[in-house]
Amino acid sequence: MRIRRLAVAALLGGSVIVVPPFVGSAVAAPAAQISTPGEGTLHSRAPITVSGTATGAVSVRVGIQDRAGKLWWRAGAWGDYSAPVVPVGPGGAWSYTWPGGEPGDYLVQAVATAADGSTDPALPFRRFTVTELPAAVSAQPDAAIAEPAKDAIVPRGREVVLRGLAADDVAVTDVRVAVRNVGTQQWWHPNGTWDTNYEALQATPFTGTGTFVWTFRWTPPEDGQYTFAVKVRDGSGGTRDISRTFFADANAPATTVTTTRRAFPGGGPVKWEGVADDARGVASVVVALLDRGTGKWLRSDGTWGAYQRRAVTLTGPRDGGKASVANGQQLFTRTGWSFAWTPPGPGNYQAEFTAIDAAGQEDSAYPRVPFTVGGPDSAAFAPEVAITAPILGKGYGTGPITFSGTAADDTSVREVRLYVISRDTGQYWQPTGGWGPAAVSFRPALQGSGWSATWTPPSYGNFTLRAEAADDRGLTASVAVPFSRGSGAGPGYVTLLASRSQLGAVDQNCQLRRGSVPLFGDLADDLRTRGIPVTGSVVVRYADENFCDPALADYATWPETERLREEYGWSFISHSANYINLTPPAGQPQPTPQTLRAETCGSLDAFAAHGHQRAWGLFLYPGYAGSPPTTAVQLDPVATCFAYARQYGYGVNLREQAISPYFVSVQGLAGNWCNDPALTCYHWVPVLGTRTDGTRYAPPEQVAAMLSGVPGQWRILQIYKFLRGKRLGGTGTQWDCTGDWRTHWTSDGESYCANDFTSALNQARGATYADPATVATAWGRGSP
Ligand SMILES: [Ca+2]
Ligand SMILES: [Ca+2]
């Protein structure tokens, strides 16, 4: 399973993704050729003409893909495959003017389409790069560097191609490049020596009119940090200086195996751990497994044969190791790693672990660890147990509930025990009937590695199912999942709560990042098409001041909230007046009664002034890290003017329990660490670091369960920002929303992958989407 997933990841990591939108069946297939841009060409940030010819076609679809993030260009946003259609003119010529994008590497793909809808099966493409020329200052020449990328890491002794643009209003007369060793501060000379005398060599070409591409080639002789210092001149003495710094790596990484054990019992996994070091960064660690009895190596398809390697899991920085991104990869100067493999049987084996650095250099020591695997030892491995139903967050109406799961062991599972605990009372369900303090289990039916049971809740409530498996040696393992049952009365309400009504993830200039799903023109439109009204929360000050947090998100202004209400059917609730902590920890200054009232009930005036009359339905306490809202503040003043107030939890509310002090449970749609243990993101994620608690990327089926209506329940799911594609490195939010959802992660808990949210919406059933005021009215709480 792990190998298959790696193979998929490798395919997605390729530079070309060919997406045929549809394939026809015409006998003479239409065909297109791309004339411009040329393969590998460099362009400034300006409209780019894509042109070519086509035969047997009436139109051509022109798709432009960002090669790093794997997103396709659409007017206003980047996302899933999309391509403008242009007509094929007389003589077969076609042309499309792309408005241009931010600096980066792109691919253009042309799809010729015939009158009968059939398409070109060949799908020609061209790769090109966009770089940004700085704003021209009067008649000064202009220049920009496209490659190498800033802080790129290259192997010592391999030629580096420096490539850039130059432009002038008249003509560029000279482009020269000097090479400096940043460490020694010395300049390079063509005879191979270094000293403090500046010497610059001409690029090719070094003169030109308009905007032209120049190159310079140089091979770093030693390990070090280097700068290309570029000087561009025009005929009137104007100059422009630009530079690019990069690293040459002469030192191979080092691999250390910390697991000292060399003999393992059979029947379960052999586990290896270690560290890997490289001054510039370890990119990967690979392992090759040898059966010393047969002399054959383990292959990725599970057979034995010729030498082959597989990746082990990097677990992230260790002992102060630094994380960085270069060459499009995540790197660590010192990283932990782990590898688990279940041998097919007893035998003599050998594992060869090899670290590989950012420059592609391998640890030449190739640490080889011989080990033996004996017969099964039933005491060696505890069983593994999992619950497949209910899934977390699942809600039920009246009637029996089916529990199911799996249990496995290296030798044998002796029994599976189930417990149901009431989260409302802390008591255990007693198989003889009723509830009690004693932890009494009941047994499910076993079939193979599966188990199942049915249980009928005696009444509504919130419960936890715990499953415990024991093996023949008495070793045990357990797992638990919460679920809820409503009273079965009334609709199954769901509130989709857009926290702080975020317009999208932004960069340092408060512009939407590529891959961030915009609220307008995308998210709000999709939800309106689905007939889902959304409840947005608003911090009064943010809406008043047109507030944008360049590290996180842009927030809706009052006019935008009014547009969302009028055109999209949204309603809005209060997230406080000024976003100050209303319940600071004991010992810190506490807000006065006047402040509490102004921040809570007082905020309603601003909503009324903008026509939002339903803000009384729910109050959201501002961020209160470590000091949740108190019942005292909730009863005075919040509950005197709001029907309910938010507490974080499973997001499930039962009608019978929505009573004083009127807290309701809200669940946030979390990103964070991924779900595939074979990947680094399971252990470590940029910005977030090492996983230390239970927060993990929410599986789409859990989100679908949250969005499914259950009579007598009100489920509140809080959403923030949605992302597409992948972004690694730089400042602000990073993410990977490509491939299988188990590999998805985001570097903040306030973002989630758009494709998984769509999948959850598609799976969800039976919800009556409503705002809190609607539920408060229906449930008899009314407007306080
Ligand atoms: Ca190295
Ligand atoms: Ca066992």
Q: Compute, in angstroms, the gap from residue 416 CA to the centroid of ligand 2.
A: 13
Per-residue three-class SS string for 388-438 = EECCCCCEECCCCEEEEEEEECCCCEEEEEEEEEECCCCCEECCCCCEECC
- Which residues fall within 8 angstroms of residue 65, CB to CB, at 6 or more apart? 17, 71, 72, 73, 106, 107, 108, 109
Could you tell me the pLDDT band of residue 29, with boundaries at 50, 70 and 90?
confident
- Among the bound ligands, the one closest to the CA of 358: 1
The residues placing their C-beta within 5 Å of ligand 1, an ion, are 249, 251, 278, 280, 357
Q: How far apart are CA 536 and CA 635, in angstroms?
A: 24
Q: Compute, in angstroms, the gap from residue 155 CA to the centroid of ligand 2.
A: 48
Could you tell me the pLDDT band of residue 80, with boundaries at 50, 70 and 90?
confident
Based on the fold, state whether residues 6 and 64 are members of the same structural domain. Answer: yes
Q: How far apart are CA 455 and CA 387, in angstroms?
A: 15
Q: Compute, in angstroms, the gap from residue 5 CA to the centroid of ligand 1.
A: 28
pLDDT, residue 359, reads 96
CATH number for the domain harbouring residue 467:
2.60.40.10
Q: How far apart are CA 538 and CA 518, in angstroms?
A: 17
Cβ 517 vs Cβ 502: under 8 Å: no
Per-residue pLDDT of 613-672, as tens digits, reads 999 999 999 988 789 999 999 999 999 999 999 999 999 999 999 999 999 999 999 899
Which residue type, as a one-letter code, is found at position 594?
Answer: Q
Cβ 110 vs Cβ 98: under 8 Å: no
Three-class SS of residue 133?
Answer: coil
Give the residue-averaged pLDDT of 85-110.
92
Per-residue pLDDT of 588-599, as tens digits, reads 999 999 999 999
**Other CB atoms within 10 Å distance of the CB of residue 721:** 30
Based on the fold, state whether residues 239 and 274 are members of the same structural domain. Answer: no
Q: How far apart are CA 641 and CA 509, in angstroms?
A: 38
Verdict on whether the full-model pTM lies above 0.85: yes
The answer as to whether 735 is a domain residue is no
How many structural domains does the chain have? 5
Residue 195 predicted with pLDDT over 90: yes
Which of 249, 270, 293 terminates a domain? The answer is 249
Cβ 746 vs Cβ 672: under 8 Å: yes
Q: How far apart are CA 720 and CA 519, in angstroms?
A: 10
Based on the fold, state whether residues 363 and 402 are members of the same structural domain. Answer: no
Which residues lie across from 313 on neighbouring strands?
338
- Which residues fall within 8 angstroms of residue 244, CB to CB, at 6 or more apart? 145, 148, 150, 162, 227, 228, 230
Residue 521 predicted with pLDDT over 60: yes
Which of 376, 408, 427 terminates a domain? The answer is 376
Per-residue pLDDT of 656-714, as tens digits, reads 999 999 999 999 998 999 999 999 999 999 999 998 777 899 999 999 999 999 999 99
pLDDT, residue 22, reads 47
Q: Compute, in angstroms, the gap from residue 281 CA to the centroid of ligand 1.
A: 6
Based on the fold, state whether residues 622 and 764 are members of the same structural domain. Answer: yes
Which residues lie across from 92 on neighbouring strands?
none
Which of 84, 99, 131 terminates a domain? The answer is 131
Could you tell me the pLDDT band of residue 445, with boundaries at 50, 70 and 90?
very high
The answer as to whether 592 is a domain residue is yes
Token pair of 263 as six digits: 């003999």
Q: Compute, in angstroms, the gap from residue 618 CA to the centroid of ligand 1.
A: 56
pLDDT, residue 23, reads 47
Based on the fold, state whether residues 19 and 90 are members of the same structural domain. Answer: yes
- Among the bound ligands, the one closest to the CA of 154: 1
Which residue type, as a one-letter code, is found at position 638?
Answer: V
Per-residue pLDDT of 388-432, as tens digits, reads 999 998 999 999 999 999 999 988 999 999 999 999 999 999 999
Which residue type, as a one-letter code, is found at position 506?
Answer: V
Q: Compute, in angstroms, the gap from residue 152 CA to the centroid of ligand 1.
A: 13
- Exposure letters 686-696 (e unless 16+ CB within 10 A, then b): bebeebeeeee
397, HSE (Cβ side, Cα atoms, 13 Å): 12
- Which residues fall within 8 angstroms of residue 638, CB to CB, at 6 or more apart? 600, 601, 619, 629, 645
- Among the bound ligands, the one closest to the CA of 333: 1
Closest to 550 (Cα-Cα) out of 505, 483, 495, 615: 505
pLDDT, residue 134, reads 74
- Among the bound ligands, the one closest to the CA of 378: 2
Q: Compute, in angstroms, the gap from residue 6 CA to the centroid of ligand 1.
A: 24
Residue 387 predicted with pLDDT over 90: yes
The answer as to whether 36 is a domain residue is yes
Closest to 573 (Cα-Cα) out of 501, 679, 502, 477: 501
Torsions phi, psi of 321, nearest 5? Answer: -60, 150
First-last CA distance in the chain: 55
Torsions phi, psi of 659, nearest 5? Answer: -125, 175
pLDDT, residue 135, reads 67
Torsions phi, psi of 623, nearest 5? Answer: -45, 125
Could you tell me the pLDDT band of residue 21, with boundaries at 50, 70 and 90?
very low
pLDDT, residue 138, reads 66
> Where are the strands (E) in 56-198, listed by range?
59-66, 71-74, 77-79, 85-87, 93-98, 104-113, 125-131, 142-147, 153-155, 160-181, 186-188, 194-195
Q: Compute, in angstroms, the gap from residue 78 CA to the centroid of ligand 2.
A: 50
Give the residue-averaged pLDDT of 535-550.
94
**Other CB atoms within 10 Å distance of the CB of residue 402:** 11
Strand-by-strand arrangement of the 93-98 sheet: 31-36, 48-55, 93-98
Q: Compute, in angstroms, the gap from residue 412 CA to the centroid of ligand 2.
A: 7
**Averaged confidence pLDDT in the chain:** 92
Based on the fold, state whether residues 17 and 106 are members of the same structural domain. Answer: yes
The answer as to whether 274 is a domain residue is yes
Per-residue pLDDT of 88-100, as tens digits, reads 998 999 999 998 8
- Among the bound ligands, the one closest to the CA of 359: 1
Q: Compute, in angstroms, the gap from residue 347 CA to the centroid of ligand 2.
A: 20
Based on the fold, state whether residues 232 and 270 are members of the same structural domain. Answer: no
Q: Compute, in angstroms, the gap from residue 154 CA to the centroid of ligand 1.
A: 9
Based on the fold, state whether residues 436 and 394 are members of the same structural domain. Answer: yes
- More confident of the two residues 527 and 40: 527
Based on the fold, state whether residues 530 and 481 are members of the same structural domain. Answer: no
pLDDT, residue 44, reads 85
Q: Compute, in angstroms, the gap from residue 324 CA to the centroid of ligand 1.
A: 14
Residue 17 predicted with pLDDT over 60: no
pLDDT, residue 376, reads 83
pLDDT, residue 416, reads 97
Residue 18 predicted with pLDDT over 50: no
pLDDT, residue 14, reads 37
pLDDT, residue 136, reads 63
- Among the bound ligands, the one closest to the CA of 383: 2
Token pair of 373 as six digits: 């695997």
Token pair of 704 as six digits: 């679908």
Residue 16 predicted with pLDDT over 50: no
Q: Compute, in angstroms, the gap from residue 130 CA to the centroid of ligand 1.
A: 30
Give the residue-averaged pLDDT of 559-573.
98
Q: Compute, in angstroms, the gap from residue 470 CA to the centroid of ligand 2.
A: 8
Q: Compute, in angstroms, the gap from residue 284 CA to the centroid of ligand 1.
A: 12
Q: How far apart are CA 344 and CA 373, in angstroms?
A: 10
Which residue type, as a one-letter code, is found at position 227?
Answer: T
pLDDT, residue 742, reads 97
For residue 288, give the DSSP letter: E
Could you tell me the pLDDT band of residue 1, with boundaries at 50, 70 and 90?
very low
Q: Compute, in angstroms, the gap from residue 261 CA to the centroid of ligand 1.
A: 29
Token pair of 193 as six digits: 């020596």
- Among the bound ligands, the one closest to the CA of 153: 1
Q: Compute, in angstroms, the gap from residue 250 CA to the centroid of ligand 1.
A: 6
- Among the bound ligands, the one closest to the CA of 407: 2
Give the residue-averaged pLDDT of 513-529.
93
The answer as to whether 68 is a domain residue is yes
Residue 439 predicted with pLDDT over 50: yes
Could you tell me the pLDDT band of residue 46, with boundaries at 50, 70 and 90?
confident
Based on the fold, state whether residues 479 and 527 are members of the same structural domain. Answer: no
Closest to 747 (Cα-Cα) out of 650, 663, 693, 670: 670
Q: Compute, in angstroms, the gap from residue 476 CA to the centroid of ligand 2.
A: 9
The answer as to whether 309 is a domain residue is yes
Q: How far apart are CA 661 and CA 45, in angstroms?
A: 57
Based on the fold, state whether residues 361 and 454 are members of the same structural domain. Answer: no
Q: What percent of the chain has pLDDT over 90?
A: 81
Q: How far apart are CA 78 and CA 81, in angstroms?
A: 9
Cβ 541 vs Cβ 547: under 8 Å: yes
Q: Compute, in angstroms, the gap from residue 392 CA to the centroid of ligand 2.
A: 27
Q: Compute, in angstroms, the gap from residue 378 CA to the centroid of ligand 2.
A: 5
Based on the fold, state whether residues 644 and 768 are members of the same structural domain. Answer: yes
pLDDT, residue 510, reads 87
Range of the domain at 372: 254-376
- Among the bound ligands, the one closest to the CA of 268: 2
Cβ 674 vs Cβ 681: under 8 Å: yes
Q: Compute, in angstroms, the gap from residue 255 CA to the centroid of ligand 1.
A: 12
Q: Compute, in angstroms, the gap from residue 782 CA to the centroid of ligand 2.
A: 57
CATH number for the domain harbouring residue 328:
2.60.40.650
- Among the bound ligands, the one closest to the CA of 361: 1
- More confident of the two residues 507 and 766: 766
Which residue type, as a one-letter code, is found at position 655?
Answer: R
CATH number for the domain harbouring residue 170:
2.60.40.2550
- Among the bound ligands, the one closest to the CA of 276: 1
The answer as to whether 104 is a domain residue is yes
Cβ 558 vs Cβ 608: under 8 Å: no
Could you tell me the pLDDT band of residue 8, with boundaries at 50, 70 and 90?
very low
The answer as to whether 784 is a domain residue is no
Could you tell me the pLDDT band of residue 11, with boundaries at 50, 70 and 90?
very low
Give the residue-averaged pLDDT of 460-472.
96
Could you tell me the pLDDT band of residue 344, with boundaries at 50, 70 and 90?
very high
Q: Compute, in angstroms, the gap from residue 330 CA to the centroid of ligand 1.
A: 14
Q: Compute, in angstroms, the gap from residue 290 CA to the centroid of ligand 2.
A: 26
